[in-house]
Amino acid sequence: MVEAVGRFAREDPRVGGAIVQALSVVLESFVAGIVASIACGLGALPVLFRSLDPTKRIGLSYAAASGLMFAASVYNLLLPAFTLGAEQGVTLRPVVETLIGLLSGCAFIWQVEKRLPRDGEESDFVKKLGGRVGALVFIAMTFHSIPEGVAVGVGFASEAHQVAFDDLGLYLAIAISIHNIPEGMAVALPARAAGASFWRCFFLAFLTSLPQPLASVPATLLVWFFRPLMLPLFGFAAGAMMYLVIVEMIPESLEEEKPTQVAWAFMGGFTAMVLVQVVL
C-alpha cells in the first residue's frame, strides 16, 4: 500500500496527497474508536469494590444498569438524533426515520429474547455472557456502539472535508469515550451479578464497544452513504435498549428486590448517566 501511494504521489501529487490524507483520517478515526472501547471496559472497575458487589444484590444491579441504559437511550441516542434532524430544516421526516429505527430495535430484541433459552437452560456461551439477561444486555449494547462509531467516522470525515468545525471528530470521540465508562458499567453489573470475574466483565464491556472502531472506518471512507443512516441507527440502538429494560431487566429486578429499592437504584443509574451528559 505504501508503494502504491508513493507511485500515485509521483505520478500526480494531488492524488497522492488525497490518498495520504484519507488514510490519515481513517487511522485517526480507528484509533479514537479503540480508545473509546477501552474506556467502555473501564466501566467494569466498580465491580472490584466488595462494598459494591452486585452478586449480593442482583436486583439492584439490574435496576442500576437499567437506569444507565435508559438514560443513554434518551440522551445519547434519541435527543442527538432529533437534534440532527432539526438541523436539516425538516421537522417530520427525521423524527419518523428515528422512530422507525426505534421500533425496529424493539422488534429485533423481541425476536432475540424469544429465542434465548430460559434461566437454567442456557448454554455455556450464554452463561459466560452473564446468563440470559447478561446476553441480552451484551447484544443491545453492541448494537448501541454501531451508530456511535458511525458518528465518529462521519465527524472525522466531515472535518477533513471542511464541512464541520475543527476537531469535530476528536470532540465526538472524547465525548463518546466518557459516555462509554458508565455504559460499560451497564454491561459489567449483570455479568458480575451472574458470577463473572472482573476481567471477564472488562472484556465483555470492551467487546460491546468494539463495533465503534470497526464502524468508524467505512463511515469515514463512505460518509455520503452513512450520514443518511445515522438517524435510524440511533433509533434502532435506543429501541433495543429501552425494550430490554422494560421487558427483562426491570421485571428481574422486581423479583429480587422491593419496588422502592428498584426505583431508587434505577434513578441512581439514570442520574449518573445524565450528569455525564450535562458535564460534557
Q: What is the pLDDT of residues 110-164, one digit of tens each?
A: 988 887 776 656 667 677 776 777 788 888 888 888 888 887 777 777 655 554 4
Q: Is 36 exposed, middle or buried (0-12, 13-18, 19+ CB in 10 A)?
A: buried
Better-scored residue on pLDDT, 96 or 83: 96
Q: What is the DSSP letter of 195?
A: T
Cα(193)–Cα(266) distance, rounded to whole angstroms? 16
Per-residue pLDDT reduced to its tens digit, 231-258: 888 888 889 989 999 988 899 889 888 9
pTM of the model: 0.76
Statement: residue 203 has pLDDT above 60:
yes
Statement: residue 97 has pLDDT above 50:
yes
DSSP codes, 25-81: HHHHHHHHHHHHHHHHHGGGGGGG-GGG-TTT-HHHHHHHHHHHHHHIIIIIIIHHH
What residues contact residue 125 under an 8 Å CB cut-off, 6+ apart?
none
What pLDDT sits at residue 114? 82
What pLDDT sits at residue 100? 93
Q: What's the chain's average pLDDT? A: 78
Statement: residue 188 has pLDDT above 80:
yes
What pLDDT sits at residue 164? 47
**Amino acid symbol at 147:** P
Q: Report CA-CA distances (Å) from 253 to 73, 96, 248.
A: 19, 33, 9
Listed range (184-198, 217-231, 237-251) with the worst mean pLDDT: 217-231
CB 183 within 8 A of CB 117: no
What pLDDT sits at residue 18? 52
Per-residue pLDDT reduced to its tens digit, 41-75: 888 888 787 766 666 677 888 888 889 889 888 88
**Angle at CA 44, nearest 5°, toward 42 and 49?**
115
